[in-house]
Amino acid sequence: SKSRSRFIYVGDSLNDLLACIEADVGIILDCKTSTLKLCEDIGLQVLPLEEWNPDRSKGTIYKANWTQIKQFLVHLNQDRYNK
């Protein structure tokens, strides 16, 4: 069966939060304290990218560095073609 495409957005500032919220997988790069504080203040959940779950609803934001993002994308690609 064909797997579903996912929209992944990687941002690095407060200006990217809306796009991250709307994406299937929203990732904040090297998350700054101000970004984490705003997310907490408005009730957004921020998790390490390693905790990504395809069943989790939109609105969860993940934090990661470029190495973690690369590993995540390789893993998603392998899962897609191993089904």
Beta strand ranges found along the chain (DSSP E)? 8-11, 25-29, 46-48, 61-64
Residues 42-53 pLDDT 10s: 988 899 999 998
Report the distance separating Cα 48 and Cα 50, nearest Å: 5
Instruction: Give tens-digit pLDDT for 1-34.
Output: 456 778 999 998 889 999 999 999 999 997 778 8
SS3 74: helix
Flag whether pLDDT at 65 surpasses 70: yes
Predicted TM-score (pTM) of the model is: 0.83
Give the model's pLDDT for residue 1: 46
**pLDDT value of residue 70:** 96
What average pLDDT does the segment 48-74 reach?
90
